[in-house]
Amino acid sequence: MTRAQSDGESFGTKPFGEQPQPMTILEVPIHGQVIKCRLDLNAPSQRLIFDNSQGGLLYEFPSVLALNQHLKPGDTFIDVGAHVGFFTLIASVMVGQTGRVLAFEPEPRNAESLRQNLALNRTQNVTLINLSRATRSRSGKTSL
Protein backbone atom coordinates (compact mmCIF):
# COMPACT_ATOMS: atom_id res chain seq x y z
CA MET A 1 0.00 0.00 0.00
CA THR A 2 1.28 3.47 -0.81
CA ARG A 3 1.04 6.49 1.42
CA ALA A 4 1.37 10.17 0.64
CA GLN A 5 2.57 12.77 3.10
CA SER A 6 2.61 16.52 3.23
CA ASP A 7 4.07 18.36 6.17
CA GLY A 8 4.35 15.03 7.98
CA GLU A 9 0.60 14.22 7.84
CA SER A 10 -0.95 11.26 6.11
CA PHE A 11 -3.57 12.36 3.62
CA GLY A 12 -5.88 9.71 5.05
CA THR A 13 -6.22 11.78 8.22
CA LYS A 14 -7.11 15.05 6.50
CA PRO A 15 -10.72 16.22 6.43
CA PHE A 16 -12.76 15.15 3.40
CA GLY A 17 -12.25 17.47 0.45
CA GLU A 18 -9.03 19.05 1.70
CA GLN A 19 -6.45 19.03 -1.06
CA PRO A 20 -2.84 17.86 -0.60
CA GLN A 21 -0.09 20.46 -0.66
CA PRO A 22 1.59 21.15 -4.04
CA MET A 23 4.74 19.32 -2.89
CA THR A 24 4.22 15.91 -1.35
CA ILE A 25 6.15 12.73 -0.65
CA LEU A 26 4.75 9.46 -1.92
CA GLU A 27 5.92 6.45 0.10
CA VAL A 28 6.00 3.09 -1.68
CA PRO A 29 6.97 -0.17 0.08
CA ILE A 30 9.28 -2.29 -2.08
CA HIS A 31 11.01 -5.48 -0.88
CA GLY A 32 10.75 -4.56 2.80
CA GLN A 33 11.96 -0.99 2.25
CA VAL A 34 10.03 2.21 1.71
CA ILE A 35 11.04 4.45 -1.16
CA LYS A 36 10.09 8.11 -0.94
CA CYS A 37 9.30 10.02 -4.10
CA ARG A 38 8.93 13.79 -3.77
CA LEU A 39 6.28 14.98 -6.21
CA ASP A 40 5.15 18.41 -7.36
CA LEU A 41 1.38 18.05 -7.66
CA ASN A 42 1.22 21.15 -9.87
CA ALA A 43 3.14 19.23 -12.56
CA PRO A 44 0.65 17.08 -14.52
CA SER A 45 3.02 14.12 -14.98
CA GLN A 46 3.85 14.04 -11.28
CA ARG A 47 0.18 14.46 -10.33
CA LEU A 48 -0.52 11.38 -12.47
CA ILE A 49 1.96 9.33 -10.42
CA PHE A 50 0.33 10.56 -7.20
CA ASP A 51 -3.28 10.08 -8.32
CA ASN A 52 -2.59 6.57 -9.62
CA SER A 53 -0.94 5.52 -6.35
CA GLN A 54 -3.91 6.08 -4.05
CA GLY A 55 -6.34 3.66 -2.45
CA GLY A 56 -3.93 0.73 -2.41
CA LEU A 57 -3.04 1.16 -6.08
CA LEU A 58 0.45 1.64 -7.50
CA TYR A 59 1.32 3.79 -10.51
CA GLU A 60 2.19 1.62 -13.54
CA PHE A 61 1.68 -1.57 -11.53
CA PRO A 62 2.24 -3.91 -14.52
CA SER A 63 5.63 -2.24 -15.16
CA VAL A 64 6.60 -2.54 -11.49
CA LEU A 65 5.54 -6.20 -11.56
CA ALA A 66 7.71 -6.80 -14.64
CA LEU A 67 10.69 -5.20 -12.89
CA ASN A 68 10.06 -7.43 -9.88
CA GLN A 69 9.99 -10.53 -12.08
CA HIS A 70 13.20 -9.71 -13.96
CA LEU A 71 15.50 -7.64 -11.73
CA LYS A 72 17.68 -9.48 -9.24
CA PRO A 73 20.35 -8.33 -6.78
CA GLY A 74 23.53 -7.49 -8.66
CA ASP A 75 21.78 -6.58 -11.92
CA THR A 76 22.24 -3.33 -13.84
CA PHE A 77 19.11 -1.37 -14.78
CA ILE A 78 19.10 1.46 -17.30
CA ASP A 79 16.30 4.02 -16.97
CA VAL A 80 16.14 6.19 -20.09
CA GLY A 81 13.89 9.18 -19.52
CA ALA A 82 14.04 8.66 -15.76
CA HIS A 83 11.72 11.62 -15.05
CA VAL A 84 11.65 12.19 -11.25
CA GLY A 85 12.96 8.71 -10.49
CA PHE A 86 9.90 6.61 -9.66
CA PHE A 87 11.22 3.55 -11.53
CA THR A 88 14.84 4.44 -10.79
CA LEU A 89 14.15 4.24 -7.05
CA ILE A 90 12.20 0.99 -7.36
CA ALA A 91 14.95 -0.59 -9.46
CA SER A 92 17.57 0.64 -7.01
CA VAL A 93 15.97 -1.41 -4.24
CA MET A 94 15.48 -4.45 -6.46
CA VAL A 95 19.09 -4.62 -7.70
CA GLY A 96 20.41 -3.95 -4.20
CA GLN A 97 23.76 -2.59 -3.15
CA THR A 98 25.61 -5.01 -5.44
CA GLY A 99 23.60 -3.79 -8.42
CA ARG A 100 23.64 -0.56 -10.34
CA VAL A 101 21.11 1.82 -11.87
CA LEU A 102 21.93 4.30 -14.63
CA ALA A 103 19.29 7.04 -14.81
CA PHE A 104 19.27 9.19 -17.96
CA GLU A 105 17.16 12.37 -17.86
CA PRO A 106 17.38 15.21 -20.41
CA GLU A 107 14.92 17.70 -18.88
CA PRO A 108 16.75 19.88 -16.33
CA ARG A 109 13.85 20.27 -13.86
CA ASN A 110 13.16 16.56 -13.89
CA ALA A 111 16.87 15.82 -13.44
CA GLU A 112 16.93 18.13 -10.40
CA SER A 113 13.83 16.46 -8.94
CA LEU A 114 15.45 13.07 -9.55
CA ARG A 115 18.64 14.25 -7.82
CA GLN A 116 16.54 15.36 -4.82
CA ASN A 117 14.71 12.01 -4.72
CA LEU A 118 18.01 10.13 -4.79
CA ALA A 119 19.25 12.24 -1.86
CA LEU A 120 15.95 11.81 0.02
CA ASN A 121 16.37 8.04 -0.22
CA ARG A 122 20.13 8.11 0.43
CA THR A 123 20.56 6.06 -2.72
CA GLN A 124 24.10 4.81 -3.27
CA ASN A 125 23.78 2.60 -6.34
CA VAL A 126 22.34 5.09 -8.85
CA THR A 127 24.26 7.22 -11.31
CA LEU A 128 22.29 10.17 -12.68
CA ILE A 129 23.27 11.17 -16.18
CA ASN A 130 21.81 14.59 -16.94
CA LEU A 131 21.52 14.79 -20.71
CA SER A 132 20.25 18.37 -20.93
CA ARG A 133 23.26 19.36 -23.05
CA ALA A 134 22.65 16.41 -25.37
CA THR A 135 19.10 17.42 -26.25
CA ARG A 136 19.76 20.86 -27.69
CA SER A 137 18.78 21.63 -31.26
CA ARG A 138 22.36 22.13 -32.43
CA SER A 139 24.95 19.47 -33.17
CA GLY A 140 27.75 18.68 -30.78
CA LYS A 141 29.23 16.01 -28.57
CA THR A 142 28.51 14.87 -25.07
CA SER A 143 30.15 12.21 -22.97
CA LEU A 144 28.31 9.54 -21.04
Model pLDDT, residue 10: 33
Per the domain annotation, does 75 fall within a domain?
yes
Task: Quickly count helices (H) and strands (E) in the chain.
Answer: 4, 7
Quick check: is 140 in a domain? no
The whole-number pLDDT of residue 2 equals 53
**Across-strand partners of 25?**
5, 38
**Residue 75 sits in which domain range?**
3-135
By the 8 A CB rule, do 2 and 57 touch?
Answer: yes
Tens-digit pLDDT profile for residues 51-87: 999 988 999 999 999 999 999 999 999 999 999 999 9
Domain count of the fold of the chain:
1
Rounded to two decimals, what is the model's pTM?
0.80
Looking at the domain assignment, is residue 141 inside a domain?
no
Distance of CA 85 to the CA centre of its chain: 3
In a domain, 142, yes or no: no
What is the per-residue pLDDT across 109-137, written as a single tens digit (0 to 9) for each? 999 999 999 999 999 999 999 876 555 56
The reply to whether 144 falls in a domain is: no
Domain holding 56: CATH number?
A: 3.40.50.150
- pLDDT tens, position by position, 6-48: 433 333 334 445 565 689 999 999 999 999 999 999 999 999 9
